[in-house]
Amino acid sequence: MPGSYPAPPPTLSGDLETISRFLQSPTQIRRRLRDYTDLRFVADQLLTQRFRTSGGAALYELSEPFVTDRTVEAVGPGAEYPFANLPTGTAGIASVSKWGQKVRLTDEEVARNVYAGQTVDRNLRKVVNSIIQQVDGQAMSAIASAVTDTTTATAAWSSAATRTIFQDILLAKAHVYGKNLGYHPDTVLVDDTHYAYMMSDTAITNALRRETTNNPIYTGTLEIIAGLVIVVSPSSVAAHPYVLDSTQLGGMADEMDAAPGYAMDQLSVQIKSIRLDANDAWDLQGRRKTVPIVQEPGSACEILTA
């Protein structure tokens, strides 16, 4: 929150006393992390399950079958029911990685800034942004590698005259439903460019409620289409839209420990401030110990738009 601190003269005695109390308090850092709602952290929106880790790894089953291994038969009067087995999915194991980095914040940088809190915010945001970008990249790469089902758009979404965006999304949704494996698509993933095409498609805008200020023409956002929550990601993987079931696709395996001094909020990013008296400085150290797991690749479908 830049500007949340008063603006005293940039002297060593004023700013450093205030900022030192903040940096030494994990609770205060946690409150600051809660304000980062614009970071577009999509990994946890697409991979919503949570896996337990043991010994630095997570064990999971890939594409567990939803039916038994034999066909149901007609049973005659007094006859014994035939036995069937319950096949399990292919076992998989994913190793947790610790993604992290730190930045140096000097006393002089804090003291000479009119708003001391602004300096901390800028450095803290850069650390969190970098970790989020890395974890999101890993998650999106895992999704792109695992999901092989595709449908082809009628025309490129960039072609205003021939595109059928709404129909393309419905067909991808039908493709996932058609497997009859209990998948219920609830999310459509797009990048910024394809989101702009959706927002400006006349077939979609003409079907929206007009006499309301909640219309995207006023708000600038379109949140739901065809019962699917729209998730916008800056990742290049989302250059082709995906329709998916976020409850089935997979999850993140976060390894939690009781390491002292770390503050963590809903972003699952841990931040720690370390005082370096010999350098008259602070180290802001951030990390996330996690691995993305795609458990049900069949619950997603990629739309090839070009």
Q: Give me the pLDDT at residue 4, please.
A: 39
Q: What is the pTM of this model?
A: 0.78
C-alpha–C-alpha distance, residues 291 and 47, integer Å: 11
Domain locations along the chain: 12-65+90-304
Q: Which tens digit of pLDDT belongs to each residue from 236-283?
A: 888 899 999 999 999 999 988 778 888 876 667 888 888 898 998 989
Q: Give me the pLDDT at residue 163, please.
A: 93
**Average pLDDT for 69-89:** 88
- Tell how far CA 132 is from the center of its chain: 9
**Given a cut of 60, is residue 2 above it in pLDDT?**
no
**Model confidence at 11, in pLDDT bands (50, 70, 90)?**
very low
- How many Cα neighbours within 13 Å face the side chain of 180? 1
Of the candidate CATH numbers 3.30.1330.40, 3.90.1690.10, 3.20.20.140, 3.90.226.10, the domain formed by 12-65+90-304 belongs to 3.90.1690.10
C-alpha–C-alpha distance, residues 176 and 185, integer Å: 7
- Angle of the 116-146 helix axis to the 12-23 helix axis, nearest 10: 30
**Given a cut of 60, is residue 35 above it in pLDDT?**
no
C-alpha–C-alpha distance, residues 189 and 240, integer Å: 8
C-alpha–C-alpha distance, residues 247 and 295, integer Å: 10
CB atoms within 10 A of CB 293: 24
Please give the single-letter amino acid code of residue 47.
L
Higher pLDDT, 259 or 103: 103
β-bridge pairing 242-244 and 270-276: unpaired
Q: Which of 152, 143, 156 is nearest to 175 (CA)?
A: 152
Q: Which tens digit of pLDDT belongs to each residue from 104-118?
A: 988 888 777 766 567
